[in-house]
Amino acid sequence: MSETDSLDNMIDQMSAARPYADIEDGVFERLKYPERTLKVTLPIHHDDGRVQVYEGYRCQFDSARGPYKGGVRYHPSVTRREVEALAGWMTWKTALMDLPYGGAKGGIIVDPREFSDRETERLTRRYTEGIRRMIGPDMDVPAPDINTGPQTMAWMMDTYSMYAGYVIPDVVTGKPPSIGGTAGRVEATGRGVAITADHAFEYFERDLTEATVAIQGFGNVGSVAARLLDQRGATIVAVSDVTGGTYSGDGLDIAALEGHVEQTGGVAGFGGGQAIGNDDLLRLDVDVLCPAALENAITVDVAEELRAELVLEAANGPTTVAADEILRERDIPVVPDILTNAGGVIVSYLEWVQNSQQYSWDLEQVNADLERRISTAFEDTLDAFAERETPDLRTAAYAVALERVGGAHEVRGLFP
């Protein structure tokens, strides 16, 4: 088994929580397998007239508690096993947040940075056509993930609605506000990360205003987390993205960095700090390390040399199971992804609810609901950690989630 196989890692995380969860053996067994994964072939015209064929997936992992829910990722490293792992993580996340959803994920193997907007639109519409028979407001509701955002969701919603002959906003979440997107969705995941940081610091009796933070990834999640942690008084000393990293011991000017990224397309070349590579960023002597990019950022090699005092998992699956074990031995707590980055799916749920009621909430109401739900999940995780004496917070979070999904399967029964 490879250390970085996300599907193996996801199943190992479930298995580690198995002894701490009251769940039937037969139910646990079936939860190790996704319900279905569709592979689609996507031929599109490039702007120069060339036809190129791409491949994509949609995995529906489990729907015992409600419609499948999960993002769509455009990235060259997408694989079937990665999409299935991400769909599993969505299942545990929606259950931990106690949302009436299952888990799903989608992805296309592509580097959209090489695409024009027209090409990305054609690819998105073709992908939506490919998966449209398995999605829908009551069936499976996609959302943004790496290299996708509100515009991608608008094209998906439009394509799906065109086939139906009328507008169906709630087929996706994370839409622009003009077509039913909710206030607060763009910031939701980063806001959830900041709220989780508040709770973690309170739990560990530390002061966030005295903390230094390094963040890997400066996209939707990483940039908002940086801004909100900075506003809370933490010192963001390092940030990186796919173009490079920047470091300043006195703290980076996050607004200036956001302006630089907007202008140049990446963190590299930022004048307000020194250049730093990813390997060094992950090993910085900081209070908080916040991986907010891809899976497998923290492997055994990194875990052995990691100097942060707390890991806040904003990305999905950033720590391998083998690395997690080392961090546990080294007494470095990890606040797990299915808790830390759940703000996005919470506000996606609120968008879906507003769409189905044809009603809209203001930002204050959305943010208050987000804070209440993620804070309750944090408490549920801490309670499981204390009462069941789980080895770490991840196992506690999984025990809660497994029992909720397992309980739904038990009362529904096994068909036929």
Collect all residues with Cβ–Cβ distance below 8 Å to 2 and sequence separation of at least 6.
8
219 forms part of the interface with ligand NAD (CB under 6 A):
yes
Mark the segment that binds ligand NAD (CB under 6 A) among 42-50, 120-128, 138-146, 150-158.
138-146
β-partners of residue 240 are 216, 245
The single residue among 193, 194, 211, 292 that binds ligand NAD, judged by CB under 6 A, is 292
Q: Which residue type is seen at 217?
A: G
The C-alpha atoms of residue 343 and residue 90 are separated, in whole angstroms, by 12
CB 58 within 8 A of CB 134: yes
CA distance 317 to 323: 11
Q: Please give the angle made by the CA atoms of 37, 18 and 59, to the nearest 5 degrees.
A: 10
Q: Which is nearer to ligand NAD, 37 or 240 (CB)?
A: 240
The verdict on 296 binding ligand NAD (CB under 6 A) reads no
- Residue 6: how many other CB atoms lie within 10 Å: 23
Closer by beta carbon to ligand NAD, 31 or else 314: 314
> Do the beta carbons of residue 292 and residue 213 sit within 8 Å?
no
Cα–Cα separations (whole angstroms), residue 78 to 68, 85, 207: 20, 11, 38
Task: Candidates 6, 37, 63, 147: give the one binding ligand NAD (CB under 6 A).
Answer: 147
Alpha-carbon Rg for the chain, nearest whole angstrom, is 20
Strands 103-108 and 51-62: antiparallel
Decide if residue 344 touches ligand NAD (CB under 6 A). yes
340 near ligand NAD (CB under 6 A): no
* CB 19 to ligand NAD: min, Å: 28
Candidate segments 30-38, 133-141, 142-150, 395-403, binder of ligand NAD by CB under 6 A: 142-150
Q: Min. distance of Cβ 141 from ligand NAD in angstroms?
A: 13
In the complex, least distance from residue 295 CB atom to ligand NAD, rounded to whole angstroms? 7
By CB under 6 A, the residues from 220 to 249 that bind ligand NAD are 220-222, 240-242
Comparing CB distances to ligand NAD, the nearer of 279 and 305 is 279
32 is catalytic: no
List residues near ligand NAD by CB under 6 A.
144-147, 189, 216-222, 240-242, 278, 292-294, 314-316, 341, 344
Catalytic residue positions, numbered: 105
